[in-house]
Structure 1
Amino acid sequence: MNTKAIAQPPARVICLGEVLFDCLANELGKSASEITSWTPYPGGAPANVACALVKLGTSSAFIGCVGKDVRGHELVQLLQSVGVNIAGIQYNSQVPTRQVYVTRSISGDRTFAGFGDKRADQFADAYLQAQHLPPELFLEAEYLVLGTLELAYPQSRAAVFRALELADEYHLKIVLDVNWRPMFWRNEEEVLPLINQLWQYVDFLKLAEEEAQWLFDTTDAGAISYRLGSVEGVIVSNGDAQVSYCLSDNEGTVEPMKVSVKDTTGAGDAFLAGLIHQLCQHSTQKLQDPQLAQEIIRYACAVGGLTTTKPGAIAAQPSSAEVASFLQQNLC
């Protein structure tokens, strides 16, 4: 196992988890067995968030593990070219960089179709090493962004909880995007107990509607916030449908602006990046302003929506100028 230590500028947001290739089906409306060709696009939820943040103007770092292979080096070079701090990336020479196969419906909605001929735990991101997390990244950062996929494997799970220790030590706020993906887990009985261990750390929680229903028996962000008690924000999204939010004590809904959808891959990650970018622009005390709270969610919707207008997750992400222009054109 090798790690790469590179002196880089400090990041306001650390994103920890997987970076991978989403292999998108070139034919729409077909099952995986019917697809004859696939196109690989860089992705992985935490990496998507890290890249989208930089494009919006908020510095970020990515912590994760890739294979010591051509695909891994290509992904790291991409992150570096975007401007993401890569000092926390580890390399594993024993297992490859992850590839995920993704089918698409006629309307562009995606469905994960597995990992080819490998098991879920036979990829480098499952072997992120806790002892190699760089504490110096946490010294200057303000937010740590996590998903739940890395909880599926013993070594990356230990790295998640080590990151939470460092975040507590250096007073970072924790943003959790549940991002539930059953195919990443070999034992689904582990899922709920492990996710439940995270609630005590979380400051901001993002869920899809089905995740909210599964975990809390409601899709109302205010009810979830009340149930958890200690969070500063809860956001429940549902693709291009209404978003329910509770920021500070402000509850409400936002209807996303309509766009011409090409590919929904990474849209939720872009939405989350838009949210975090706005949190970095405003002190959390300002979330008590109802109008600002709604504007923050509307901004996040715009970032997510624009990302669906092009294929791929990272390549499709908008700049802050593009978001500003889109919001201006869609003034209520």
Structure 2
Amino acid sequence: MSNPLVLCFGEILFDCLADQLGLKLEDVKSWTPYPGGAPANVACALVKLGTPAGFVGAVGEDEAGNELVNLLEEVGVDTTGVQRHPTAPTRQVYVVRDLKGDRTFAGFGEYDTAEFADTRLQAKQLSESLFVNAEFLVLGTLELAYPETEEALYHALDLAEQYDLKIILDVNWRPVFWQDQTIARTKIQGLLKRFDFLKLTKEEAEWLFDTSDPGAITYRLSSVEGVLVTDGENGCSYCLGENEGKLPAFSTDVVDTTGAGDSFLAGFIHQLIKYGIHSLSDAETVKRIVTYASAVGGLTTIKPGAIAAQPTAAEVDTFLASHQL
């Protein structure tokens, strides 16, 4: 897919989901690997909804890396921005699940978190041509934990600002990725003034801002155009343009919550491109956009795996036609 409108920068990996629910890491008997990584999840979800997207990140020259790149290409994600590292392995993360299907990232097996290929993304190898025609750049914060990829992240931000892309931060706080968690909050807060839209969970909002009120966060940041705060089964709240609101979550038969927030974000971006930034001045359109995003997120929880479970635009439309918040 050429000329992606959305560039998703960061990690792609295998989520190894515990086959047995409610067990600790050491007690799990078997695991099933599913492709994941928040930026990759967003890119795949966007393409399935009909918005051209590209992934920018690094994987190893190994079988896992081959599988993930092949998957992106099969889905239709632009892989121009994928770098391959000759020796560092493609990341796998072990995920335990409670009896409700909610997951916790539990570790990386035999490797240290800094040994994986996604920590070696090279700034000088970023494809500037990708930024020329794109409209949005989506970033997480895990890349701040590793010096080489942190440098690449800041270069991507510079390119996005040079070519006037809207920049979206999904905080995606995962303590297990950081060797020194005490510097994480400072590094993340140092980024916040460079973003147009901020998406975070209720826990992340309280951790960074001591409030989960998106209006208060928007006021605090002043330069941001919108804030989305998700809270799982309790729904989400938002401040977009001058419009604030809360929406409950759709009721679904939850199997696995992995990637639901990423799909929510993809649904939001897909609708934002459809209606245009100017539409955020209209309260009803804003509510329609967030409702759509909630449906995309909810539908992703009814099957295991982040990418495999993502709905098509037709499936979202069918769901919305028969479900109301």
How do 1:154-303 residues align onto structure 2 when only pairs under 5 Å count? 154-303=147-296
For residues 183 and 120 of structure 2, the distance between their equivalents in structure 1, rounded to whole angstroms, comes to 18
The aligned counterpart of 2:53 is 60
CA contact (8 A) 2:8 2:54 kept: yes
- 1:189-246 per-residue CA deviation (whole Å, 9 max, x = no partner) reads 2212211221121101001001000111111111100110011110111112131100
1:289 CA drift (Å): 0.3
Q: Which amino acid aligns with 1:216?
A: F
**Structure 1 counterpart SS, 2:194:** coil
The aligned counterpart of 1:4 is none
1:153 pairs with 2:158? no
How do 1:74-113 residues align onto structure 2 when only pairs under 5 Å count? 74-113=67-106
Q: Which amino acid aligns with 1:293?
A: V
Q: Which amino acid aligns with 1:317?
A: Q
Q: Which amino acid aligns with 1:129?
A: Q
For residues 191 and 82 of structure 2, the distance between their equivalents in structure 1, rounded to whole angstroms, comes to 23
For residues 297 and 321 of structure 2, the distance between their equivalents in structure 1, rounded to whole angstroms, comes to 16
Q: Which amino acid aligns with 1:48?
A: N
CA contact (8 A) 2:189 2:208 kept: no
Q: Which amino acid aligns with 1:177?
A: D
Q: Which amino acid aligns with 1:157?
A: E
For residues 185 and 216 of structure 1, the distance between their equivalents in structure 2, rounded to whole angstroms, comes to 20
For residues 99 and 123 of structure 2, the distance between their equivalents in structure 1, rounded to whole angstroms, comes to 42
Q: Which amino acid aligns with 1:76?
A: V
For residues 213 and 264 of structure 1, the distance between their equivalents in structure 2, rounded to whole angstroms, comes to 21
Q: For structure 2, list consecutive stretches of 5 or more residues without a partner in the other structure.
A: none
Alignment: residue pair count: 325
1:282 CA drift (Å): 1.2
Q: Which has the higher helix share?
A: 2
Q: Which amino acid aligns with 1:260?
A: D
RMSD: 0.8
The aligned counterpart of 1:134 is 127
Q: Which amino acid aligns with 2:107?
A: G
The aligned counterpart of 2:118 is 125
What TM-score results when the alignment is normalised by the length of structure 1?
0.97
Seq. identity, %: 57
Q: For structure 1, list consecutive stretches of 5 or more residues without a partner in the other structure.
A: 1-7
**Structure 1 counterpart SS, 2:44:** helix
Runs of 4+ in 1 over 3 A off after TM superposition: none
